[in-house]
A and B are shown apart, each in its own frame.
Chain A
Amino acid sequence: MHHCYIDRHSGIDSFIHRLDPRIKLLSLITFLLFVMFTAPDSYIAYFLYGALIIALIALSQLPVTFVLKRASVIILFVAFIAVFIPFTKKGEVCAASYAGALQPTVCYGGWHMFFAILLRACLSVLCTVVFMSSTTFSDFLKALERLKFPSLVIMILSFMYRYIFVIQDELMQMWRAKESRSVGGAKKLHVRALANMIGVLFIRSYEKAESVYISMCSRGFAGGIQTMNHLKLKTADVFFFLIIVAALSGIRVLKG
């Protein structure tokens, strides 16, 4: 069965993978905030952030194709929204063309805005890939727990993580059964079969959730899940975080 692998590359043994998940989460947030609050026209700053990210990707040993594939989710949005930006900003005109009544003009402000958005989007998505793909989901949840994230949300997330594969498997089985029994036919029937399949899946999931709850209760569930805490902050982790913060603020001061 084809699955969307959640922890596909989080088992690699690299410096980034070994970092404490809390540090990774904090570094990610710090990096994103720095990138978001950088002026649109400070290209050198974006370039340096990019260099930092490339260094992190290299350190993490994640396959480059995987990183690029994950990062490519922004393409749709860029193609739909961002391409219009250069044409819509008012200001000093840098190029104008006469294409009928439209007369698209491109201004410097528009270009700056366009590149800033593109660069910000790319940098943030790459950074998220590096830090999140190098952490297993359960470690990530544990990091959230230690950072005092609301425990209800963490427990819901952990249940979702557990059952994604189970439910996906059931859906794939139904899908395969449908595919092997139906060839051609009207599109309407396929859509109805699909809707019924999702309906069956809903009922099964709901019943599964109920029976999970009953078995949780019979095992003494008292409103919380105790997990072992193996997260320990090492000096390397603290140094990594300090270096990241220093590098980011260095770039900021240099080319803010």
Chain B
Amino acid sequence: MHIPDGFLAAPTWTSTWLFSIAGISVCLKKVTMVLEDRIIPLMGVMAAFIFAAQMLNFPVAGGTSGHLLGGALAAVLLGPYAGAVVIAIVLIVQCLVFQDGGLTALGANIFNISFIGAGGGYIIYRCIARIKNDRRGVIIGAAVAAWLSVVIASFACAVELALSGTSPFRIVVPAMLGVHILIGIGEAVITTGVVSFVLKVRPDLIYCPKKEECQ
């Protein structure tokens, strides 16, 4: 889903760049208010964690393998703002060091995967976890959020490509959604596993917006 350079038209990539810069600075401010100086090592090490977790391949049907994307996982474990920052940092390193995603398209990639994926995933997770305020609710919320975060991020990516005139709506949207509906299943399975493990071992580490709500 990392868009390379050249696939987006100038208005699309410039506007998503501006939006991403604004979004990241807001997220950084929000996280700094809570964590203060601790933000620096925590965000850095967590970005390294997501980066390492993305390397693990697991078998998917038909001999292919998939790997964790981690947007929803980061948002559930660290909260929406910190999660978005961590994913954005990972995307920056992937773009600059591994050329996975273009530099001009970096704004769009951050917008899709970090804001729409992780941020949107968090909203979905919170809605479900609030309706069913217990362990089951958190796990179901994480599963749904993980699946949806991949799907809506790919949808945003498809919309940007369509807006750029690269590919018409009726082709790129079904193509992207079709692939990512499947990828999302693997993402949901792994995210659920990780969240239920952390919930069992160190439930205090899972982000919770208001302390009294989570026991």
User: What residues make up the interface of A, taking CB atoms closer than 8 Å to B?
Assistant: 4, 6, 28-29, 32-33, 35-37, 70-71, 73-74, 77, 80-82, 84-85, 88, 113, 116-121, 123-125, 128-129, 132, 137, 140, 150, 152-153, 155-164, 166-168, 170-171, 175, 187, 190-192, 194-203, 205-206, 208-210, 212-213, 216-217, 221, 223
Contacts and interface: CB of A to CB of B under 8 A. Distances in A.
A67 to B, nearest CB: 10
A121 B5 contact: yes
Interface of B: 2-7, 10, 13, 24-25, 28, 32, 37-49, 51-53, 55-56, 58-59, 68, 73, 77, 85, 89-90, 92-93, 96-100, 102-104, 161, 165-168, 171-172, 175, 179, 189-190, 192-198, 201-202, 205
A256 B51 CA distance: 41
Given A4-B98, A213-B38, 20 more contacts: A37-B10, A81-B166, A117-B7, A124-B6, A124-B103, A124-B104, A125-B5, A128-B5, A129-B99, A156-B39, A156-B40, A160-B93, A164-B51, A170-B52, A190-B59, A195-B189, A198-B53, A201-B49, A209-B44, A216-B41
Contacts of A116: 6
Contact of B46 (A29, A157, A200, A205): A205
B45 A195 contact: no
A217 to B, nearest CB: 8
B68 A198 contact: yes
A124 B102 contact: yes
A84 to B, nearest CB: 5
Contacts of B172: 81, 84
23 contacts: A36-B13, A71-B99, A77-B3, A80-B175, A124-B4, A128-B96, A156-B47, A157-B93, A159-B45, A160-B90, A163-B45, A164-B52, A168-B48, A171-B56, A191-B58, A191-B190, A191-B193, A195-B192, A195-B193, A202-B53, A205-B46, A209-B41, A210-B38
A173 B201 CA distance: 20
A121 B6 contact: yes
A70 B40 CA distance: 30
B167 A73 contact: no
A4 B4 contact: no
Contacts of A132: 96-97, 99
B199 to A, nearest CB: 9
A156 B102 contact: no
B84 to A, nearest CB: 13
A219 to B, nearest CB: 12
A203 B198 CA distance: 7
Contacts of A162: 44
A81 B51 contact: no
A132 B28 CA distance: 26
Contact of B197 (A37, A77, A117, A196): A196
Contacts of A32: 5, 102-104
Contacts of B166: 81-82, 85, 113, 117
Contacts of A216: 37, 41
A70 B172 CA distance: 26
A137 B48 CA distance: 14
